[in-house]
Chain A
């Protein structure tokens, strides 16, 4: 299946109650697939093309506030527009899944794939002290699986979850194994607005606290929740790290290319390993720190001007030098150029 269409099918199968979105390249196939498939007939899932990304994310807020499984998707410029709503969703502690099929920026940029929204995704993006769980698929299969996982995590923590994909994964065709149809939300949550019950207090979904003391309490509760995520939800994959003397760090589609560069190095007898963070937040800092003690040097490869590399440096804590190689503006690095950059920067050409 095509990556974007697989995301859409995964949303139906994950038991989503609603999808609200606005077309933008390179992810319009998500809503096109849903409209074609008409999941209202299959599962009762509601699909609506909103008047803007701003409206779409606020429709998500409304549905999520009722305890429903709601998903939206967009690409970079559209995600910027959604950031207001995402901040409110994080503040009101509502669950939802947001997919960003990243294209290069800033501004309108280009429709070609990029990883330049890393900071926006993992450092907040919208206003206020909040975090999203950020899942970074490297395959169409992972895109599918992360929709299901995304809803599970979103409801576990009552927190927005972002799937940070990119134009390569969204547009490419790969074989996928689709999971079984999951039920739509059946549970009634005590935090959800579903109509006031007699003798019970009304439910209020809000991110507003007028008193600083109360707002700080909210912030402390959120921070405690984020520490829990950091403890429980870190996902990463390692390749040939056991005997590695050098380490590549890369995520998403870029990790697949970097793995080829790693294999090239191995063929030449250089012991290189690769760690691929699957959750960008929480970040696999402990795993990278451990590997930093083992290796002579680390090279982070990204399709941006160097964003995750900052987290890699923080994780390495000076145990090993951390270099960076990136292509951006929609350019995709080849395994050759990654290997050449590695030789130059790490081995000393």
Chain B
């Protein structure tokens, strides 16, 4: 089969969702953001809610997420996405509102906004990308950086005594009565990516039912920040990140 045959519409088995724009992603090769974007975009596409969705981009590597999602979006100050999303959802309650945030944005500078939005049970979806490092600023320590993990601000590895513990904020917000669905996934393998997409779709469906805050964490790799090849970083993630941040549902609706 020649290449021209493959791209014939009748031979297509998998198409790019129209909820993603045609812009070239600026993410590093092997980075999980691209797949995470796509899973969320496909979830929005499947539900047919592109015109009813408003997203909030964070500060971090995904600061330009609004170039890639073909939905109306606002760019928030560092850590403030859940507050911005609250302002949107409270005045546009019929819209689907999501934030897309990294670990520094959500679990360090934006901890208060995260916890209080979750505690109020804002009807929003928080997508949390946890790669244990500040990618955008060049590989500094994140609140979720593992013990002993090296970064440019923990060059000898994270020392718990002086630098504190990695923060399991997802488990923390799951304790709050305002959260309805809290789950942790990855997108480094097709099966995992499909599961993540199912979770994102479920969360958006719950939002339609005004069930409260849904948080989907995606444990991701950062080849550049971790100074590894993409393949190495995925393996390292499985061996080191997953034991500390185990994949699976943390809080599921009790019905």
B50 surroundings in chain A (CB, below 8 A): 196
Q: Which residues of B contact A63 (CB under 8 A)?
A: 87-88, 90-91
Given contacts A66-B54, A206-B74, contact A193 B88 (CB under 8 A): yes
Give A18 to B71 CA distance when docked, in angstroms: 24
Contact of B75 among A52, A66, A206 (CB under 8 A): A206
Contacting residues, chain B, for A193 (C-beta < 8 A): 54, 72-74, 88
Name the distance in Å between A83's Cβ and chain B's nearest Cβ: 11
Q: Is the CB of A55 within 8 A of B83?
A: yes
Q: How far is the CA of A62 from the CA of B84 in the complex (A)?
A: 4
A58 adjacent to B91 (CB under 8 Å)? no
With A59-B83, A208-B63 known as contacts, the answer to whether A202 contacts B71 (CB < 8 A) is: yes
Q: Which of B59-114 contact A (CB under 8 A)?
A: 63-64, 66-67, 69-77, 80, 83-92, 95, 112-113
The answer to whether B51 touches A58 (Cβ under 8 A) is no
Which chain A positions have C-beta within 8 A of B52?
A: 195
Q: Decide: A198 near B51, CB < 8 A? Known: A54-B83, A92-B75.
A: yes
Contacts of A17 on B, CB cut-off 8 Å? 91
Contact stretch, chosen from A43-51, A225-233, A240-248, A274-282: A43-51
Query: Max chain B CB contacts within 10 Å: which of A60, A68, A70, A196?
Result: A196
Contact A65 B80 (CB under 8 A): no
Whether, in the assembled complex, A152 has its beta carbon less than 8 Å from a beta carbon of chain B, the answer is: no
A194 contacts chain B at the CB level, 8 A cutoff: yes
Contact with B along A300-342 (1 / 0, CB 8 A): 0000000000000000000000000000000000000000000
B72 and A68 within 8 A (CB): no
Name the interface residues of A188-219: CB closer than 8 Å to any CB of B.
193-198, 202-208, 210
Contact A62 B72 (CB under 8 A): no
- In A158-213, the 8 Å CB interface with B consists of 193-198, 202-208, 210
The answer, among B70, B89, B113, for a CB contact under 8 Å with A51, is B113
Kindly state whether residue A84 has any CB partner on chain B within 8 Å: yes
Complex Cα spacing A194 to B55, Å: 11
- Rounded to whole angstroms, the CA-CA distance of A141 and B74 in the bound complex is 36
B56 at the interface (CB under 8 A from A): yes
Query: Among the listed A51, A92, A210, which residue makes an inter-chain contact with B112, where contact means beta carbons less than 8 Å apart?
Result: A51
Chain A contact-residue range equals 35 or more
Determine if B224 is an interface residue (Cβ-Cβ < 8 Å): no
Q: How far is A64 from B63 in the complex, measured between Cα atoms in Å? A: 20
Q: By the criterion CB–CB under 8 Å, are A61 and B84 in contact?
A: yes
Cβ of B116 < 8 Å from any Cβ of A?
yes
Which chain A residue shows the least CB distance to B55?
A193
Main secondary structure of the interface of B (DSSP, over half): helix
Question: In the assembled complex, which residues on chain A have CB atoms less than 8 Å from the CB atom of B63?
Answer: 208
Contact in complex: B54, A50 (CB < 8 Å) = no
Nearest CB of A to B216, in Å: 20
Task: Give A197 to B51 CA distance when docked, in angstroms.
Answer: 6
B53 at the interface (CB under 8 A from A): yes
CB pair B75 A58 closer than 8 Å: no
A88 interface residue, CB < 8 Å from B?
yes
**With A195-B51, A195-B53 in contact, do A203 and B87 touch (Cβ < 8 Å)?**
no
CB distance from B223 to the nearest CB of A (A): 22
Known: A85-B77, A202-B70, A205-B74. A62 touches B87 (CB 8 A): yes
Which A residues are CB-close (under 8 A) to B77? 58, 61, 84-85, 88
A62 partner, pick from B53, B71, B88, beta carbons under 8 A: B88
CA–CA, A196 and B85, complex, Å: 17
Contact between B56 and A196, CB atoms less than 8 A apart: no
Docked-complex contact B87 and A61, CB < 8 angstroms: yes
A58 CB contact (under 8 Å) in B70, B73, B76, B90: B76
Bound complex: CA A58 to CA B110 (Å): 12
Min Cβ gap A65→B in Å is 5
Say if the beta carbon of A130 comes within 8 Å of chain B.
Answer: no
Within 8 A of B (CB), among A100-132: none
Asked if A146 is at the interface (CB within 8 A of a chain B CB), the reply is no
- Please name all residues of chain A whose beta carbon is closer than 8 Å to the beta carbon of B74 when the two chains form the complex: 61-62, 65, 92, 193, 204-206
Using CB atoms, name the residue of chain A closest to B50: A196
In contact, A55 and B51 (Cβ under 8 angstroms)? no
Task: Kindly state whether residue A20 has any CB partner on chain B within 8 Å.
Answer: yes
| Docked complex Cα distance between A17 and B89 (Å) | 12
Find out whether the CB atom of A195 lies under 8 angstroms from the CB atom of B72: yes
- Which chain A residues border B84 with CB–CB below 8 Å? 58-59, 61-62, 65
Contact sample, A vs B, 12 pairs, CB 8 Å cutoff: A18-B90, A48-B90, A51-B113, A61-B83, A62-B83, A66-B92, A70-B87, A84-B77, A194-B95, A195-B51, A204-B74, A205-B74
Extra inter-chain contacts (18) besides given A193-B74, A195-B95, CB under 8 Å? A17-B91, A46-B90, A50-B83, A50-B86, A59-B86, A61-B80, A62-B87, A62-B91, A64-B87, A84-B77, A193-B54, A193-B88, A196-B71, A202-B66, A202-B70, A204-B66, A204-B72, A205-B73
